[in-house]
Amino acid sequence: MKIYQVDFERGDILYHEGDEPKTIFLIEDGEIEIFRQRGDRRISVQVLVRGQFSGETGILEGKRHPMSARAQTDLSCLAIPRDEFEAELDLVSPIVRRILRNLVVKLRHATNRTYGQSNR
């Protein structure tokens, strides 16, 4: 699998809500804030830390990013391109893929109920 190193400075945007997902980020050092922007207001949903992933939900669900992500601190990540991840996912049994996708949908619905957005 082709994985590469990528670094961000504090405040850099990794992706915006509604962007087509292209990469999964595995945090090696630093923090990522997951948020929703509503007008002038930024609603912080979660802070991800070393060892956690960001960007996988859109890829697993086959939809655009449901939220935005920014480097809360200087950030070092391993980046996994979408096509590389999907090739690895194709090696997993169909039932496991379906379970993963269903978990992502359930997570999105719960998050949307908590942070007030429709379950499109």
Tokens of 25: 């980020």
- According to the model, what pLDDT value does residue 2 have? 92
Q: Which two tokens stand for residue 98?
A: 């379906």
The pTM of the full predicted model, rounded to 2 decimals, is: 0.85
Q: How many residues does the chain have?
A: 120
Q: What is the homologous superfamily of the domain 4-115 according to CATH?
A: Jelly Rolls (2.60.120.10)
Q: What number of other Cβ atoms are within 10 A of residue 82's Cβ?
A: 16
* Domain boundaries, given as residue ranges, for the chain: 4-115
Alpha carbon distance 82, 59 (integer Å): 7
Output the tens digit of pLDDT for each of the chain's 120 residues: 799 999 999 999 999 999 999 999 999 999 999 999 888 999 999 999 999 999 998 898 889 998 999 999 999 999 999 999 999 999 999 999 899 989 988 888 887 787 766 444
